[in-house]
């Protein structure tokens, strides 16, 4: 059996993430970040989902997503209701999950050509 490495037809692809890091293309990231198929925003200042404010979503919403995937670290932790409402009031879906699940979900949606943006919270 022959295996072929297929690279997505977009600029930034997420290979995986956990609570402390992520692999984007061939780079290991250790700080929270935002990713879309053609955009990578490094050093997103969010460190704790429970302390998020709606303004923390600005870098994600500026990319005009139809869906936001929020990876909250090693475990799923829901941000305050105002953060969720900031997306929903704009007609943008938001899914909250642990980073490993968020990475898989983001990759599938990006591979389908969806307008998805993900924010990953990494422990400092």
Q: Where are the domains of the chain?
A: 18-120
With beta carbons less than 8 A apart as the criterion, state whether 93 and 67 touch. Answer: yes
Would you state the pLDDT for residue 53? Answer: 98
Name 97's bridge partners: 71
Would you state the pLDDT for residue 9? Answer: 76
**Domain 18-120 homologous superfamily, CATH:** MTH938-like (3.40.1230.10)
Q: What is the largest CA-CA distance in the chain?
A: 51
> Which pTM value belongs to this model?
0.92
Nearest to 99 by CA among 123, 66, 68, 74: 74
pLDDT in tens, 45-98: 999 999 999 999 999 999 999 999 999 999 999 999 999 999 999 999 999 999
Q: What are phi and psi of 34, to 5 degrees?
A: -120, 135
pLDDT confidence band for 10 (50 / 70 / 90): confident
């Amino acid at each position: 059996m022959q295996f072929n490495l297929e690279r997505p037809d977009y600029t930034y692809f997420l290979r995986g993430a956990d609570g402390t890091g992520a692999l984007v293309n061939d780079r290991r990231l250790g700080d929270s970040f935002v990713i879309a198929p053609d955009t990578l925003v490094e050093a997103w200042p969010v460190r704790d989902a429970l302390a998020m404010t709606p303004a923390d979503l600005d870098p994600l919403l500026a990319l005009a997503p139809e869906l936001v995937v929020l990876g909250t670290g090693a475990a799923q932790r829901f941000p305050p209701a105002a953060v969720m409402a900031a997306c929903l009031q704009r007609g943008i879906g938001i899914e909250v999950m642990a980073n490993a699940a968020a990475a898989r979900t983001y990759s599938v949606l990006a591979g389908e050509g969806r307008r998805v943006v993900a924010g990953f919270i990494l422990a400092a």
